[in-house]
Amino acid sequence: MAKVTITVNGEARTVSVPPETTLLKLLREHLNLTGAKLGCDVGDCGACTVIVNGKSVNSCLMLASQVDGFDVLTIEGLATTDQLHPLQTAFEEKGSLQCGFCGPGVIMSAKALLDEEPDPSVERIRDALAGNLCRCTGYSKMIEAVQAVANSVNSHPSVKSA
């Protein structure tokens, strides 16, 4: 067994897992954080996207032991008890998701982009979401939602995306 300590959504957690355990499995099966989805399990769909030390990653491709000591943010860490994250609100308002399976991954990719680049071009948003496959909705409404958040943060800098 490998002992892994991570900070996940601001909380330090230590678990012992078999050495072959992926980060996705650690989150879903050991920490009960099921927002990141198991889609392809080979790095093709982005359904498992989370943010590790500020970068979006496919958690199905990382071993839990590789993130020992790291900071992990999942979709569960975005909303507060009484308020959705601005990206979640924008996706809802724009009707950017249908079945929603891809949603957590898409939103985490978008968050990683906006954290690094608060005013991205459409091309940059498209690039950032390129690894997230959506079978239902298409990408136009997702891009609109990300732009809406970027615009609101940039016109009201005090509204920081948490």
Told to check if 136 binds ligand FES by CB under 6 A, we report yes
Told to check if 50 binds ligand FES by CB under 6 A, we report no
Told to check if 130 binds ligand FES by CB under 6 A, we report no
Told to check if 134 binds ligand FES by CB under 6 A, we report yes
The three state secondary structure string of the chain is CEEEEEEECCEEEEEEECCCCEHHHHHHHHCCCCCCCCCCCCCCCCCCEEEECCEEEEHHHCEHHHHCCCEEECHHHCCECCECCHHHHHHHHHCCCCCCCCHHHHHHHHHHHHHHCCCCCHHHHHHHCCCCCCCCCCCHHHHHHHHHHHHHHHHCCCCCCC
Question: Which of 8, 33, 46, 128 forms a contact with ligand FES (CB under 6 A)?
Answer: 46
Question: Which of 44, 68, 92, 93 forms a contact with ligand FES (CB under 6 A)?
Answer: 44
Q: What is the separation of C-alpha 93 from the centre of its chain, rounded to a whole number of angstroms?
A: 19
Least distance to ligand FES from the beta carbon of 59, Å? 7
- Applying CB under 6 A, what is the total number of residues that bind ligand FES? 22
- CA-CA distance, 107 to 125, in Å (whole number)? 11
Of 12-20, 44-52, 114-122, 152-160, the segment contacting ligand FES by CB under 6 A is 44-52
Least distance to ligand FES from the beta carbon of 157, Å? 31
Told to check if 77 binds ligand FES by CB under 6 A, we report no
Told to check if 38 binds ligand FES by CB under 6 A, we report yes
Contact residues toward ligand FES (CB under 6 A) are 38-41, 43-48, 58, 60, 97-102, 134-137
